[in-house]
Structure 1
């Protein structure tokens, strides 16, 4: 745990960030002396962009990520997403698309401009950190929509009002190389040249930035290993020569507070109080049937003390008959005011290495990596050593069966370990095919526009298709129909 003084100082800085951010749109209206600074210091923009990156994307963790990963089930309007419908293009798709470009990408691109060589606030360390955060945002967009504006995306201040789309393949290739460059620079950087008082992610610990950058490359390389094995194996080999996230003290997370002040809370708390979603039957049953001690960590019991999930995708007639009140809610560990916001954890990185070892990409015993991943996952949520040992002594605690069966074991544990980062759970589910999501059939389930098959992507927002039409049409021609069933470049497994 970080000390109280560090937390208190950061939350004071966060309050100042909110003030500066709220003034950003009217800076040009303020009379300033020609001798004063006319741009916001990059510290404020950087800290705000980092917080936006992890806080403003919480919407996708319930609506899309939570339901497509079969961890949550919504009610009312949100059920259209869970029912594999796509006629809500004007709202949900637009909100996700614009929340990235109008929020963190806008701010982090400004930091990149200010700190680049020849920029007004030139600083190569800050520049590298900003590029890592930019990569996180563009990666999320590409993994959701497919082709998106990357090279020129978010640069309206450069008068690029109709940016061209970049393919997922080109984004991954460029980003893997960019992160490699960022990693080399950060390895030898001095902390005083970074963001001593404006880093809400790692509090200016550059060793953690190195681990995070390298771990992000590993995640990306594993994501493309079925479609570009040679590139993936090269990058994975490089990642193993550099530090990775190995301990939970190195996790990429944003702290929140159990506070009455909304800006300091986990945004999922407010979203949950509005949407009131429930836990998915798939997740609850997985935890129950395997005696997983994380059941009580993630799932709140109903009034009878039982853990009951609701099936995803029920048709209206069956949904209306379901005992909604008797179905379990998510626990405060996931949606509480002070719940931490995770983006990457040690458990994921150990389990990715287990998968790589199983495939013969890296040396070592896959089972050793697998058990290390489970231990870190349990430790992350303060599961006792005794309960962890008991779980590892069960049938699931050791890899067994064919290579494909062992892959399913690893990927199922990856799926659980991503919580509360449900969007990444959906990404990994599409990449690997595990856990298996059955094709939905009527009359019990709503097949939706995908004929019951798990959606592969988001549709582009209607406003983008209208305003940036020529580039949108080029992207569709290259990638395939603008439908939720069109698989992304890296999504090649059945």
Structure 2
């Protein structure tokens, strides 16, 4: 499929993208800058193009940006999904306090995930395809397809319908329904799985470029046989995640794809932390972990009150790994988050609330910390839900898989005390108290405990599974927001101030981002068709295809 025309279109369209930070003190540069510094004419058949563009695609899933300035990630995710997931909140009143954090949606922010997908990810992968990667190095192309599926799924889960199957046509660019996009992603994962199985079952491990170790930012320091076994397990794990996402929209397809992912004959799923999906931060070009950069250098992100409620309430030993204690003189030494859409927000007032763990004597997060996009813990929780639904190949009882998910998370973070945590049946999330503004106070969101209860209803069991999955996959807010929308769990605090003008229900919370303004400016007729595919108005209150009201069973 030739994607050049549509990708060039979006590269032009987003060059003039307005970011919309009217009250930010940072110098925001054009986010469409080509961070590689390499043009099409510079591509070399000796593998240099692989190192450049495969790396670019991987880094752009969770966009690092170039030169150590992660403004793209900030509007791609941190000021959207990271907040909507209940993980983070900014103390900064961007745009004079009218912004996405309180549902006054900023057009310039809303287009960033869209731009990053087409310009940085699909554009890079298309260059590799046009240079014959699929034919020359099929196993590497399989890994590229996994990257493509991961990046695309995140963006369709932000907007709903997006252009996909029509990539490469001339003229106006049609959108696909989200249902059709998911079906195509499953087919592309079929291709990736088959290519990886062929490579892993063969004996010729020289069918990879010599610089694969530099190009592959996910699985480094291993031999090629091991490398592509890990990519195969990642492909299957991603299929399992996407299958579970659609369980309320297409239960039969969800079960079919999940059981395919879990079938041992297909190569297995991630079951240990050595196989976790992490994107290594390259030491060259001054790249850095963007979440760390925003927390440390700009002070623009702090812990969300919802995360405080659960981790303090459960006396979760991982809390010291996740966040620093507050430095505000009123709450010094406490773990204290900020309510999303907080009333009375000023940076001077809330900058001293708990941050990501960046200032501890042995901080968990640094400029070189690899962003984590999928973990063994998440996969164990997905398997627990599969077992709860009675699907084949889950590989254990619901309780055993649930508890293994917790154990894997504790091991990942290097924390002791998992057994005591698992056995606790009394601790519950706490009420939130904001010492600076009582309007932000809120009662405890739930009474759910950690210890498994085999006699509970299926719905209560799912709340336990998703709540612990949410705690385990921190700080990956995009996946956490998607699962919150799918299941309604964990129960997180709604925004205090809702400036949506009635478009987004405070209790239901935000369900998506509106389509980019540039699409209205240049592809208006197709956007109107996309709204029909969406099935509701183009605002943050409209549910996606897989986001169905009602119970989970």
Q: Write out aligned runs for 1:333-352 (5 A).
A: 335-352=365-382
Q: Report what 1:249 is aligned to.
A: 274
Q: What is the root-mean-square deviation in Å for CA atoms of aligned residues? A: 2.7
Deviation at 1:263, TM superposition (A): 2.6
Q: Is the 8 A contact 1:432 1:493 kept in 2?
A: no
> Cα gap change, 1:77/1:254 in structure 2, threshold over 3 Å: closer, same or farther?
same
Aligned-partner SS, 1:48? helix
Of residues 500, 517, 526, the one that matches 1:462 is: 517
Question: Counterpart in 1 of 2:140?
Answer: 126
Please tell me whether residue 280 in structure 1 is matched to residue 288 in structure 2: no
Matched, 1:373 2:388: no
**1:343 match: secondary structure:** strand
Q: 2: distance between equivalents of 1:321 and 1:39? A: 47
User: What's 1:168 paired with?
Assistant: 178
**Structure with more helix by fraction:** 1
Q: Give the aligned partner of residue 104 of structure 2.
A: 85
Q: Deviations over 1:190-217 (max 9, x none)?
A: 5432353321111350010000000000
Q: Secondary structure at the match of 2:345?
A: helix
- C-alpha distance 390-181 of structure 1, shift in aligned 2 (>3 A): same
Other-structure match for 1:291: 315
Contact 1:55-1:341 at 8 Å conserved across structures? no
Tell me which residue corresponds to 2:498.
446
Distance 1:114 1:406, change over 3 A: same
Unpaired stretches in structure 2, ≥5 consecutive residues: 1-32, 65-71, 426-448
Q: Distance in 1 between matches of 2:158 and 2:350?
A: 30
Comparing 165-174 and 60-69, the one that deviates more: 60-69
The residue aligned with 2:53 is: 45
Whether the 8 Å contact between 2:163 and 2:173 is mirrored in structure 1 is: yes
Counterparts in 2 of 1:20 and 1:191: CA distance versus 1, 3 Å: farther
- What's the TM-score, normalizing by structure 1? 0.85
Kept after mapping to 2: 8 A contact 1:94/1:461: yes
Equivalent pair of 1:111/1:130 in contact (CA under 8 Å)? no
Counterpart Cα distance in 2 of 1:300 and 1:250: 28
Q: Which moved more, 1:224-233 or 1:450-459?
A: 450-459
Q: Does 1:230 align with 2:248?
A: no
Compute the displacement of 1:71 (Å): 1.1
Aligned to 2:93: 76
For 1:269, the equivalent position in structure 2 comes to 292
**In the alignment, which residue of structure 2 is the partner of 1:11?**
none
Q: 1: distance between equivalents of 2:318 and 2:407?
A: 12
Deviation at 1:424? 0.6
Q: Which moved more, 1:282-291 or 1:41-50?
A: 41-50
CA distance, structure 2, for counterparts of residue 83 and residue 344 of structure 1: 29
C-alpha separation in 2, matches of 1:172 and 1:41: 29
Are the structure 2 counterparts of residues 423 and 488 from structure 1 closer, same or farther at C-alpha, using a change threshold of 3 Å?
Answer: same
Counterpart residue number, 1:65: 81
3-state SS in 1 of match to 2:206: helix
Question: Structure 1's 334 and 92: CA in aligned 2 closer, same or farther, altered over 3 A?
Answer: farther
Deviations 1:36-64 (A, max 9, x none): 85996334322332223344474334111
Moved more, 277-286 or 105-114: 105-114
Over 3 Å counting, the alpha-carbon distance change for 1:37 and 1:426 in structure 2 is: closer
Taking structure 2 as the reference length, what is the TM-score of the superposition? 0.76
**Cα distance in structure 1, aligned partners of 2:415 and 2:309:** 19
- 1:21 is displaced (CA, Å) by 2.3
Tell me, in whole angstroms, the C-alpha distance in 2 between the residues paired with 1:301 and 1:20. Answer: 35
Instruction: State the secondary structure of the residue aligned to 1:426.
Output: helix
Which residue does 2:355 correspond to in 1?
329
Structure 2 CA distance for aligned equivalents of residues 340 and 25 of structure 1: 29
Which stretch of the first structure deviates more once superposed, 77-86 or 361-370?
Answer: 77-86
* TM alignment of 1:11-160, pairs within 5 A: 21-24=36-39, 27=42, 41-56=49-64, 58-59=73-74, 60-74=76-90, 75-77=92-94, 80-86=99-105, 88-89=106-107, 91-115=108-132, 122-153=136-167, 155=168, 160=170
Paired with 2:237 and 2:349, the residues of 1 have a C-alpha distance of 42
- Is the Cα–Cα contact under 8 Å of residues 60 and 116 in structure 2 kept in the other structure? no
CA contact (8 A) 2:340 2:493 kept: no
Name the CA distance, whole Å, in 2 between partners of 1:337 and 1:329: 15
Contact 1:149 1:163 in 2 (8 A): yes
Partner of residue 3, structure 1: none
Cα pair 1:255 1:340 within 8 Å, conserved: yes
**Alignment correspondent of 1:31:** none
Maintained 8 Å contact 1:112/1:131 = no
Q: Residue in 1 aligned with 2:9?
A: none
TM-fit CA distance, 1:25 = 6.1
**Measured at CA, do residues 110 and 334 of structure 1 come closer, stay the same or move farther in structure 2, by a change above 3 Å?**
farther
- Deviation digits for residues 165-205 of structure 1 (CA, Å, limit 9, x no counterpart): 11110010111122022112102215432353321111350
What is the CA-CA distance between 1:274 and the residue it aligns to? 2.3
